[in-house]
């Protein structure tokens, strides 16, 4: 015989069993602290512990910011061991609009031991001339670079026009061209104003041959951003490598060539123009694989790299990065690409010079100081740049 209270009990057991069969694993008995309506997930063994549900299950990845209890030395490095040259900055990132903005930037450079900044104006024409004039007050401290004309690239006179504008900018003070970016949409292209695939101006396009010849003749280098971090070609989801803050750089599902195809265009370009000096920024977006990157450097003597904005590549592999940097120090240059605040520069000195551990950075992973030897520091801070940069 079943009494009413037993009947209710049986009914709920049946309900649980039915739900369990039809949709998901049967919830186990709720604990007191979880409350009646919070079903407990089945026990799971992971990392040698039995994983239990709790408040951490509802934390969003983008909000996850663990506070470290690790007690290890934290070294302050106010200035670099050698006066440094930053080969990768943008006037817009430092909010340079007027002469006083240049003065403000120079003050920070003095404070942090930076001898010179290469400034990408991102401009040609009158806008380049205007910016060149702003920086002309300090010719030893700032070197301005121009961009490239990407208007009417199908016009028959485009190659001559683009090359002539670079020569004009050179006379106005430009000592390099860049940063020229091709993340797949071609130079001057973007997702919003994308040309059809076969119309885009990729770096190995014959329409640019005259430009590469012109800069070789002027003895000035080009700084090129090719492709992007390889994680951009991997889907956004639980296995995405970089933090959610970088998700807008993602390329999956967009109408762009693959990462590999873009790097192949780079290889064709540098082989076709051996007399032109190319600097590929951000470790040519191959800082995740320095062995392959080394082969690229070995194959092309006209190629240099800046390691701007790749603090998180170097810092996550301190031993491998140090070996690579020691070996290729004469091909590598310091650059930032992250504005011009004192603490940013000083973060770089700490990463490159100290053996500090578990340094907070810009990705979910932390960095480890590289403790670069003096000869490598001298080369990457200034020696290589003095050799590569035009006067």
User: Which residues form the interface with Zn ion (CB under 5 A)?
Assistant: 179, 337
| Helix or strand run (H / E) with residue 144 | strand 142-145
Q: Which residue has the tokens 């907070």?
A: 360
We find the least distance from the C-beta atom of residue 283 to Zn ion, in angstroms, to be 13
386-390 long-range contacts, CB within 8 A, separation 24+: 386/85, 387/330, 388/221, 388/277, 388/279, 388/304, 388/333, 389/85, 389/87, 389/118, 389/143, 389/175, 389/176, 389/221, 390/175, 390/176, 390/218, 390/219, 390/220, 390/221
Nearest to Zn ion by Cβ — which residue? Answer: 337
- CB nearer to Zn ion: pick between 338 and 372: 338
Q: Which residues pair with 90 in a beta bridge?
A: 120
User: By C-beta, is 337 or 356 nearer to Zn ion?
Assistant: 337
Neighbouring-strand partners of residue 182: 226
- Nearer Cβ to Zn ion, position 179 or 353? 179
- For residue 229, the minimal CB distance to Zn ion (Å) is 13
Q: Least distance (Å) from Zn ion to the CB of residue 281?
A: 6
Alpha helices in the chain (DSSP H): 4-22, 99-112, 125-135, 158-171, 209-218, 259-272, 290-299, 311-314, 318-327, 342-353, 374-378, 384-388
Please say which residue, 119 or 297, places its beta carbon nearer to Zn ion.
Answer: 119
Name the helix (H) or strand (E) containing 382: none
Packing angle of the helix pair 290-299, 318-327 (nearest 10 deg)? 10
Nearer to Zn ion, 118 or 163 (CB): 118
Residue 223 C-beta: closest distance to Zn ion, Å = 8
Q: Where are the alpha helices (DSSP H) in 30-124?
A: 99-112
Q: Smallest distance from the beta carbon of 309 to Zn ion, in angstroms?
A: 7
What's the closest the beta carbon of residue 310 comes to Zn ion, in angstroms? Answer: 11
Closest of 335, 337, 267 to residue 302, by C-alpha = 267
Q: How far apart are CA 169 and CA 289, in angstroms?
A: 36
> How far apart, in whole angstroms, are the C-alpha atoms of residue 379 and residue 25?
60
Cα 386–chain centre separation: 24
Nearer to Zn ion, 109 or 338 (CB): 338
Give whichever of 225 and 382 is closer to Zn ion, judged by the CB atom.
225
State in angstroms the smallest separation of the CB of 228 from Zn ion. 11
Nearer to Zn ion, 77 or 222 (CB): 222
- Cβ nearer to Zn ion, comparing 186 with 335: 335
| First-last CA distance in the chain | 100
Least Å from the CB of residue 354 to Zn ion: 26
Dihedral over Cα of 52, 54, 58, 60: its sign: negative
- Strand bridging mode 278-280 / 142-145: unpaired
CB nearer to Zn ion: pick between 122 and 230: 122
Ramachandran region, residue 184 (left: φ > 0; alpha: ψ -120 to 50; beta: rest): left
Min dist CB 88 to Zn ion, Å, is: 6
CB of 258 to Zn ion, least distance (A): 22
């Amino acid at each position: 015989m079943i009494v009413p209270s037993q009947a209710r009990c049986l009914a709920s057991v049946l309900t649980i069993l039915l739900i369990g069969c039809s949709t998901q694993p049967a919830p186990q008995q709720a604990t007191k602290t979880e409350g009646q309506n919070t079903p407990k997930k089945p026990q799971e063994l992971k990392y040698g512990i039995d994983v239990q549900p709790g408040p951490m299950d509802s934390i969003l990845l983008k909000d996850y910011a663990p506070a470290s209890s690790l007690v290890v030395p934290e070294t302050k490095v106010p200035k670099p061991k050698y006066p440094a040259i930053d080969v990768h900055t943008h006037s817009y990132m430092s909010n340079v609009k007027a002469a006083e903005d240049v003065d403000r930037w120079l003050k920070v450079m003095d404070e942090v031991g930076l001898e010179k900044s290469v400034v990408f104006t991102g401009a040609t024409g009158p806008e380049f001339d205007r910016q060149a004039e702003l920086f002309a007050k300090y010719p030893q401290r700032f070197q301005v670079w121009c961009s490239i004309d990407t208007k009417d690239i199908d016009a028959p006179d485009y190659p001559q026009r683009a090359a002539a504008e670079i020569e004009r900018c050179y006379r106005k003070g430009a000592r390099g061209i860049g940063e020229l970016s091709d993340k797949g949409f071609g130079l001057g292209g973007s997702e919003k104003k994308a040309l059809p695939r076969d119309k885009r101006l990729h770096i190995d396009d014959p329409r640019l041959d005259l430009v590469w010849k012109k800069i070789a003749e002027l003895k000035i280098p080009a700084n090129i951003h090719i492709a992007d971090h390889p994680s951009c070609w991997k889907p956004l989801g639980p296995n995405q490598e970089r933090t959610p803050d970088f998700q807008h750089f993602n390329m999956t599902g967009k109408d762009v060539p693959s990462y590999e195809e873009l790097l192949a265009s780079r290889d064709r370009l540098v082989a076709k123009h051996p007399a032109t000096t190319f600097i590929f920024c951000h470790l040519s977006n191959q800082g995740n694989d320095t062995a392959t990157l080394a082969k690229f450097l070995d194959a092309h003597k006209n190629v240099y790299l800046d390691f701007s904005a790749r603090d998180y590549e170097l810092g996550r592999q301190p031993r491998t990065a140090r070996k690579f940097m020691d070996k290729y120090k004469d091909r590598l240059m310091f650059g930032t690409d992250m504005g011009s605040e004192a603490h940013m520069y000083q973060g770089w000195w700490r990463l490159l010079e100290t053996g500090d551990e578990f340094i907070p950075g810009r990705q979910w992973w932390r960095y480890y100081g590289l403790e670069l030897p003096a000869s490598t520091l001298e080369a990457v801070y200034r020696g290589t740049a003095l050799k590569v940069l035009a006067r």
